[in-house]
Amino acid sequence: MKTDKYRHRIAAAATAVFTAAIFISSGPGVCETRAPLSIEPVEERNTYFQGDNSTIQFSITSGQSATYRIGWIFTCKGAILARDIRQIDLRKTASQKININLRMPETDKDIILDAAIDLLAVQTENNKHKAAFSKKIWIFPKAPAAYAHSLKDNRLHLFDPGRKTADRLKRTGIPFELIEHATALADISKGLLLVGEGIASDAFASLFPLIIDRARRGISVIVLAPQTGRFPAPLIKTIDPSRIVKKGRDIISFFDSRLDGVAWQHDNRIPQALLSWDKSKERVFGVVASEAAGWPWMEINFRNSRFIYCGFKLIKCWEINPTPRYFFLHMIKYSQEKPFKVKQRGKRP
């Protein structure tokens, strides 16, 4: 504990010296906090993989024609890992992007690291205008060994015609039993049934009654984002609406506040297949669409099990961002909790 305390003090002192160096190199002047100058991250994601070479981009915007010195420092667990000072010219343009290239730290322990990038922009000529920004990031192990190990007793049954989900889980070290044919789903008597991502809409239409039946019989079921389309869902009429829970992206931070609940990709989006019910013509259809009104998360709580529809495209983004694989593991654990226990907590959706 004392070592960490001293590290934080050293890092704080070094940051102060680093900041002073920016001002000294910019010349004399008086700092003003009302300057029309801002620093903003270009991407909204905050999670990265340990050991990766990552580029984090920031946008510097100024309402005044001037040159600026930009200083940044990257710290993790009280240690300074990287720093730099550079100059940008905003005399002909109002904003400019800068790239910060970082090697993410890694540890042989199965822990999630918290780190920060602190930036300071100062006008070169007179130090009159300045802006600061601090971005906190979380750095995850690529192989979540502790999480995956906890699934060994849950018997994960995977039905995955496209094999993409099976490939990702195998590479990550997540144990599962592959179900080759849909007819074998009726033989599952314990464990958890997972339907792999990207299943065709016509195949899902014939599968839907089978997996709802499994959930009713006490086998929790998770469906990962299928392809867009419509499928008949008359069984929904037989389910008490109070058992159906719909959630948006807030379910991500509900499981773990460190996970990215806003953006996974460089375009600041989370790819998803939204589910809604069409009951307009006395028949019920499930509608899966990418941009229509609907929900990326829907669960049906039975007495001893859950049916979960997860429309976030976890497998597609598995290698891009740590959030999909860690959200997946949280979701697996959640599906195995008894619904009545969740009500006692008063925290689950």
pLDDT tens per residue across span 130-152: 899 999 999 999 987 766 666 66
Q: What are the residues whose beta carbons fall under 8 Å from the beta carbon of 112, sequence distance 6 or more?
A: 138, 139, 140, 141, 258
Total tally of structural domains belonging to the chain = 2
Q: Is the pLDDT of residue 237 over 60?
A: yes
Domain boundary among 140, 159, 174: 140
Query: Of 140, 162, 196, which marks where a domain is finished?
Result: 140
pTM summary value? 0.85
Which residue segment(s) compose the domain that 132 sits in?
2-140
Quick check: 241 pLDDT over 90?
no
165 confidence band (pLDDT: 50, 70, 90) = very high
- For 336, counting Cβ atoms within 10 Å of its Cβ (0-12 exposed, 13-18 middle, 19+ buried), the class is middle
Q: What distance in Å separates the CA atoms of residue 247 and residue 254, rounded to the nearest whole number?
A: 10
How many other CB atoms are found less than 10 A from the CB of residue 208? 21
Mean residue pLDDT of the chain comes to 84
pLDDT tens, position by position, 35-77:
489 999 999 999 999 999 999 999 999 988 899 999 999 999 9
Strand pairing class (177-179; 156-159) = parallel
Same domain, yes or no: 49 and 21: yes
Query: Tens digits of per-residue pLDDT, 296-325?
Result: 999 999 988 999 999 999 999 999 999 999
Domain harbouring 186, CATH code: 3.40.50
